[in-house]
């Protein structure tokens, strides 16, 4: 009986997490729509064609997508209940996510130091809001990952840890999908328009 209750609770938690991800989708959809409307709002200041280095952004993208792959490897290890590999692959995911976030912050700092902050025009305001919101989500994912890794290291692969790691994996893959859209809409299309 308690296993059925636990499964029912687990199913509700997973459903609730999917609802959360869908609300995050709506948030990002709104930010993308705002960016698309304002991307040509560079009446004063630079536009995307003059600001972004595609090789730099491609490096960021490859690092984040590799972190998605390592997160997938961690999830496979979780299914095999291999604590050592779960910790290893999530640690690699954490390091790659940290490198990605560092590169994103470096890009922001470079833009601001060059006088291209979020107050310059509508395009930059929308850019910093969209990409910055994604960065905040990455930071939240890294903090969540760190807490769960400490829990697994101390207490092993308990059912609750497994459940939380599975939801973390969903969240991380979701952020990678959002980044693919950012890469295409902000950087690739922006460089051509």
Q: What is the pLDDT along the chain (193 residues), one digit of tens a residue?
A: 444 446 666 677 788 888 999 999 999 999 999 998 888 765 666 666 678 888 999 999 999 999 999 999 999 999 999 999 999 999 999 999 999 999 999 999 999 999 888 888 888 899 999 999 999 999 999 999 999 999 999 998 888 888 899 999 999 999 999 999 999 999 988 666 5
DSSP secondary structure string for all residues of 36-60:
HHHTT--SSS--HHHH--HHHHHHH
Q: What is the pLDDT of residue 41?
A: 62
Q: What is the pLDDT of residue 128?
A: 96
Domain of 148, CATH number, reads 1.20.120.80
Domain that holds residue 97: 2-192
- 3-state SS, one letter per residue, for 78-100: HHCCCHHHHHHHHHHHHHHHHHH
Q: What is the pTM of this model?
A: 0.89
User: What distance in Å separates the CA atoms of residue 79 and residue 90, rounded to the nearest whole number?
Assistant: 14
Map residue 42 onto helix, strand or coil: coil
The number of distinct structural domains making up the chain is 1
């Amino acid at each position: 009986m308690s296993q059925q209750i636990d499964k029912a609770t687990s199913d509700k938690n997973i459903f609730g997490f999917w609802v959360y991800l869908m609300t995050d989708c709506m948030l990002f959809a709104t930010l993308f729509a705002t960016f698309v409307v304002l991307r040509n709002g560079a009446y004063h200041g630079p536009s995307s064609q003059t600001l972004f280095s595609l090789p730099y952004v491609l490096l960021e993208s490859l690092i984040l997508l590799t972190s998605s792959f390592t997160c997938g490897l961690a999830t496979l290890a979780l299914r095999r209940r291999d604590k050592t590999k779960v910790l290893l692959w999530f640690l690699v995911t954490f390091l790659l996510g940290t490198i990605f976030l560092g590169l994103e912050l470096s890009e922001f700092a470079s833009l601001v130091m060059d006088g291209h902050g979020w107050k310059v025009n509508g395009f930059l305001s929308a850019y910093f809001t969209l990409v910055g919101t994604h960065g905040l989500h990455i930071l939240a994912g890294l903090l969540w990952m760190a807490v769960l890794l400490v829990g697994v290291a101390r207490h092993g692969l308990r059912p609750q840890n497994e459940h939380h790691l599975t939801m973390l994996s969903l969240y991380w893959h979701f952020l990678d999908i959002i980044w693919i859209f950012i890469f295409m809409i902000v950087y690739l299309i922006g460089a051509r328009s």
